[in-house]
Amino acid sequence: MTIPMTFAPDVATAKKNGTPIVALESTIITHGMPYPQNVETARLVEEEVRAGGAVPATIAVLNGTLHIGLTDVELDTLGQAQNVAKLSRADIAACIATGGTGATTVAATMIAAHLAGIKVFATGGIGGVHKGAETTFDISADLNELAQTPVTVVAAGAKAILDLEKTYEVLETLGVPVIVYGQDTLPAFWSATSPLPAPLRMDSAADIAAAHEMRVAMGLPGGQLVTNPIPSDAQIPAETLAPIIAQALTEADAHGISAKGVTPFLLGRILELTDGASLTANIALVRNNARLAAQIAGSLAT
């Protein structure tokens, strides 16, 4: 069976010419940010990738076809669409098989990027172990994906709404390399630092690319997580956010929000409770990740 997969023209050309490509996800567009900032951000992120000498490939499933790179119209339509499915490893094949439309999470974007021969992917923050997971068992499929699909994912860490300690414990258990770019502590999404020490530290895109290639050469399955601290002038201090995250979590509980609804609900409430500051920081950190991802893609042999 062939997979209905289509490449945007500039991505197809980049593949033919060996130009570096950076994959981008679409759940951040449909479930992570409100319209129109979601579409504006997606375009800015694509521009950052281009400025870094790589070609962006935003990934989504549209009417049963896996799109590797979206046109301006497709991006805008997806950004305004209501009730778009959020696709992870469990749902992406069913969505394609039944002619559906959906936005890809980190896990599903890694799967699609790998199918398309793309080795580097930039996002905002990965999913992970939710607070209270000891009773809810809510652990993002992003973690298992990092353990099995050979794509280097650049993020500003796991989202700070999560239990960061448990998230990094699980990544360690799964054998996922967690590389902190340029500092000795893990970043915490909207905040540049956290009390958690860096499992691995690298100071250049070339080193990160070399580590990716060494894993492939050694036959180690899975990818790498590169955690790239938000620029310090754009960050929100963790102390400022802590009570806001706690309030959003209490509200999610009171409303009985669960499973795939948790992350979008929390991000939406934190945006309201910070008067938009969390969104401004989120935009800054994704752009920063796109810049680093373009450098890493440029350092990889094609």
Catalytic residues: 25, 159
By CB under 6 A, residue 28 contacts ligand PSU: yes
By CB under 6 A, residue 56 contacts ligand PSU: no
By CB under 6 A, residue 15 contacts ligand PSU: no
By CB under 6 A, residue 105 contacts ligand PSU: yes
By CB under 6 A, residue 125 contacts ligand PSU: yes
If the CB atoms of residues 91 and 142 are measured against ligand PSU, the closer one turns out to be 142
If the CB atoms of residues 7 and 265 are measured against ligand PSU, the closer one turns out to be 265
Distances 272 to 25, 34, 123, 222, 265 between C-alpha atoms, Å: 24, 11, 22, 36, 11
CB 20 within 8 A of CB 54: yes
By CB under 6 A, residue 170 contacts ligand PSU: no
Distance, in Å, from the CA atom of 108 to the CA atom of 266, rounded to the nearest integer, reads: 21
Instruction: For residue 201, list its beta bridge partners.
Output: 180
Distance, in Å, from the CA atom of 272 to the CA atom of 248, rounded to the nearest integer, reads: 10
By CB under 6 A, residue 222 contacts ligand PSU: no
In sequence order, the 6+-apart residues with CB closer than 8 A to the CB of 199 are: 168, 172, 177, 178, 179, 180, 186
CB 166 within 8 A of CB 242: no
Alpha-carbon Rg for the chain, nearest whole angstrom, is: 18
Binding segment for ligand PSU among 1-9, 180-188, 243-251, 259-267 (CB under 6 A)?
259-267
Q: Would you list which residues are annotated within the binding site for Mn(2+)?
A: 138
Q: Would you list which residues are annotated within the binding site for substrate?
A: 86, 106, 140-142
**Interface with ligand PSU by CB under 6 A: which residues?**
25, 27-28, 31-32, 105-106, 123-125, 127, 140, 142, 260, 263, 267, 282, 286
